[in-house]
Chain A
């Protein structure tokens, strides 16, 4: 399903206008000055939404070349993980892509479950799907609304930031935390959805589409917005694949790769949803693909909530599943298992496992090598941001500084995930 079928013809009109503009502007500044300016964009520039440095060579207003420097918040998660038991690694994962931490957390738990061979009951799988899709929506909302801010539209950002707040309230109801959530456990969820959580979720599902429609009507066909984003920073499907793009950035270029469809995990095969794809891979397509994915995520949440099966919310795996705290206070066995798990005495099998989930901005993979010890021998995170950010200079070269900001914003690079 192409998101911009209805916009047939828009692209070439704007392209012609741009060419016209270039004809007027280019000779002027070429004669003006041949010297290049070096511009340090970042590391902490308010327009870059994170700690990245870009050393740009500018010819007037045009970018000639760019060198990205990263690592400003590198925290050596892979090294730290080599000394931590599996539960304690969860707190590292939600600090990677902090816009959608449930996806990181639950993806990590699924990796451990795959290694230990724990089967998760259906109810827990559906609950995980609901939480992960909520996280995806909040991730996409922030990305798209910040893109709006970068083009000068602050209102849309305020509209949807309120919705993100409501999503965080649902997180809070489910697990007690808002940003660094830790609602999963090896074998299921930490606790069942409370009636209040379901109520909040249903109320939000009812009110959100109106806001989303309003947000879309503010941007989708907005002349000023389209002037700023159509045909800005395009990338071809071949280039995107070669650069290792996944997620909305790859789908905007026209490749319908989605981990949820190709390698379903956590019962994604039970739900009906479409994979939106773009055609040009430009900033506008990335924006539209994310918008459409929000609608698809809503579809998935609605289906999962309607079909939410009865039954246990965690597997009967006392060796791995951290018992509920109330049990620990009054039940000796629960106390013993709690102690053993917290002290990291899970006997992990020897082996290596790769598991990937569809994160907010692409395929988030966990490669875990275990030598039978209580901690991973080696843990490597396939962080989508780290992999595709290297395409940024190529996408930005030839555009202006203001375009470069918009491109960076539409790629949804999260500094925490970039550096890990």
Chain B
């Protein structure tokens, strides 16, 4: 389901495209730091290196990338949840965008996990900004962040008992029959 572009391999760097060269360097560094088996589905959609990892490793990887002096991915640009209901066993996902101001490198990391067990380690001990972003992901997707200091709804009302951004909650009332989606809308 996840969109793919050309795979980022060191061979691709021969093309002398500066973005490709930089991405190949970043990928090589990621492999040295965390091992090749830590990353799957590596691609470069629109020049941004994207890799999938596991929720067991995500905390260690992001902490390591922040500490690493060569790459210094010290800025968490954004993180958000995503829902693929047809990917059985990996229905929910979290997507992290990291940025290094010194090298001007961006990296996108993804993790996927089952909706029945939506538990992910918190990043709020690494980045203070992760606090609200995680509350937002919890509010909309029901992702539970272990170790989060204050995991409660942020934009929706407290007594809401569902997670509205999941695909199982359509924007319009599904029981209505006067409006057909045959030609319009998703």
Q: Which 6 A-B pairs have the closest CB atoms?
A: A244-B129, A71-B155, A380-B80, A382-B78, A74-B155, A242-B128
Binding site for B on A (CB under 8 A): 70-71, 74, 76, 78-80, 82-83, 114-115, 239, 241-244, 255, 257, 262-263, 343-344, 350-354, 356, 363, 365, 367, 369-371, 373-375, 378, 380, 382, 386-391, 419
User: When chains A and B are docked, how far (Å) is the Cα of A386 from the Cα of B77?
Assistant: 12
Binary contact track B117-130/A, C-beta < 8 Å → 1, others 0: 00000000001110
Q: Is the CB of B46 within 8 A of A351?
A: yes
Report B69-125 residues with CB < 8 Å from chain A CB. 74-78, 80, 82-83, 95, 97, 101, 104, 106, 108
Q: How far is the CA of A226 from the CA of B181 in the complex (A)?
A: 60
Chain B residues numbered 132-173 whose CB sits less than 8 Å from any CB in chain A: 132-133, 136, 140, 154-157, 164-165, 171-172
Which residue of chain B lies nearest to A375 when distances are taken between CB atoms in the complex?
B186
Task: Looking at the assembled complex, report how far the CB atom of A94 sits from the nearest CB atom of chain B, in whole angstroms.
Answer: 20
Which chain A residues lie closer than 8 Å to B95 at the CB level? 367, 380
Residues of B within 8 A of A (CB-CB), count: 40
Cα distance, A80 to B186, chains bound together (Å): 12
Name, among B80, B83, B127, B155, the residue most crowded by chain A CB atoms within 10 Å (CB to CB): B155
Inter-chain contact B45/A352, CB cutoff 8 Å: yes
Query: Contacts A115-B46, A390-B131 given: A262-B155 contact, CB under 8 Å?
Result: no
Given A83-B171, A83-B185, residue A363 in contact with residue B131 (CB < 8 A): no
A242, B78: Cβ atoms under 8 Å?
no
> Does B23 reach chain A (CB closer than 8 Å)?
no
Known contacts A76-B164, A352-B45, A380-B78; decide if A71 and B129 are in contact (CB<8 Å): no
Give me the interface of B with A, judged by CB distance under 8 Å.
Answer: 1, 3, 5, 45-46, 48, 50, 74-78, 80, 82-83, 95, 97, 101, 104, 106, 108, 127-129, 131-133, 136, 140, 154-157, 164-165, 171-172, 184-186
Contact B186 A242 (CB under 8 A): no
B35 to chain A, nearest CB (A): 25
Give which listed residue, A79, A115, A239, A391, contacts B164 with CB less than 8 A: A79
CB pair A354 B97 closer than 8 Å:
yes
Q: Can you name 8 A-B pairs with beta carbons within 8 Å?
A: A70-B155, A78-B140, A241-B74, A244-B77, A244-B129, A352-B45, A367-B80, A386-B136
Most buried by A among B101, B129, B172, B184: B129
